[in-house]
Amino acid sequence: MNNASIGPIISLDEVIRPTQLLIDLRIIKENFLKIKEYVKPSKVMPILKANAYGHGLIKIAQLLQDLNADYLGVAVLEEGILLRQHGIKIPILVLGGIWGNQIPIFLKYNLTMTASSIEKLKQIDEVAEQLKVKAIVHLKIDTGMERIGVHYYNAKDFLNAAVKTKNVIIEGIYSHFANSEKKDLSYTELQLNRFLEVINYAQKVFKEQPLFHISNSGAILQMPKANLDMVRPGIMLYGVYPSKEVQKSIEVKPALTWKSIVVYFKVIKPNHPVGYGSTWQTDHNIRAVTVPVGYGDGYMRNMSHKAEVIIRGKRYPVIGTISMDQIVVNIENDSAYNGDEVILIGSDGNCEITVEELADWAGTIPYEILTNINTRVPRIYIE
């Protein structure tokens, strides 16, 4: 079959799906500058893992580079490579653990590695020697997460080994808080004290002092003494607080609006169930609309029978089980028309639906809501 038989080829760039994310870069800029001012003189490493918490890895990195961010943090090697391939020049720390065969790729793309054991540190040193380069490394100390990193009580041997490397620049030493977003900060205090003991020893053995960092969004908001040399804001950069109970000592605004449109209108009669499993039905005539979004987009199925959307400045319930690609909304006796805007996250006048609400409906946390919005949902940027 030739192209002529099926008509002209249409570029995907010409097609904008009606279900989309609007991301206001002006708000992210404002949030970043507020954080930077609040924590100075500490450096700032914005965290861009998981597609910049759903906001778009490349575009957010470009914005932050223009704003002279000191560092960027990502979770995996591939995220760092993608940033380098799109012209990001500022330092990038890959926070996750590494495999030995990844080390040459880190060095090729000038990415900063996390060394989480003496064995990994030795591997990095050996590969750097073979390639006749210097590897930039941050040492990971486990002060209470039990994921990766050398336990704080074994840190002296780790730091002594680091000092002896010939081809590694120990640029930083860091840890991570487990509960810094909670009202009770006793465990966070314990972790900080453990890390300060490690810092005290490091300052004795390193001629050139590394950057010490441990503070995430919760700690930035609640424990300024943990800012140290650098902080790592994640979810708060995008205008979402890490928990309901955290102190809102910096006012940040959400940068993301998730919206779609009405694509179908119908009247549903009594005893005619809606959706898979026939889990919802009405006992009177209602008006309902269909919206092209579902769990395939990250609009989670667990929100079935709980979620609401905004149409024409008013909230309406989602009825029936959320499908992969569509939801049905009960507008009762109100009116809506094909093409009407539907707000999934965001506001219309005085009516607002937040990321936190979706998290409550889904029985999860805001982080998961943001990072689960599928890449098939177009990101539209407001600059």
Pairwise CA distance, residues 97 & 306, whole Å: 38
Residue 283's CB: how many other CB atoms inside 10 A? 7
Pairwise CA distance, residues 239 & 255, whole Å: 6
- Catalytic residue (choose from 43, 49, 140, 259): 49
276 carries an active-site annotation: yes
Look-up: residue for tokens 């005893």?
Answer: 271
49 carries an active-site annotation: yes
| 299: Cβ contacts below 8 Å, ≥ 6 apart | 293, 307, 322, 327, 344
- Catalytic residue (choose from 153, 264, 276, 337): 276
For residue 214 the two structure tokens come to 């441990």
**SS3 label, residue 334:** coil
| 88: Cβ contacts below 8 Å, ≥ 6 apart | 61, 62, 65, 72
For residue 275 the two structure tokens come to 């959706």
The helix (run of H) or strand (run of E) holding residue 220 is helix 217-222
Secondary structure of the chain: what % helix, strand, coil (to 5)? 35, 25, 40
Phi/psi of residue 171, nearest 5 degrees: -85, -30
Residues serving a catalytic function are 49, 276
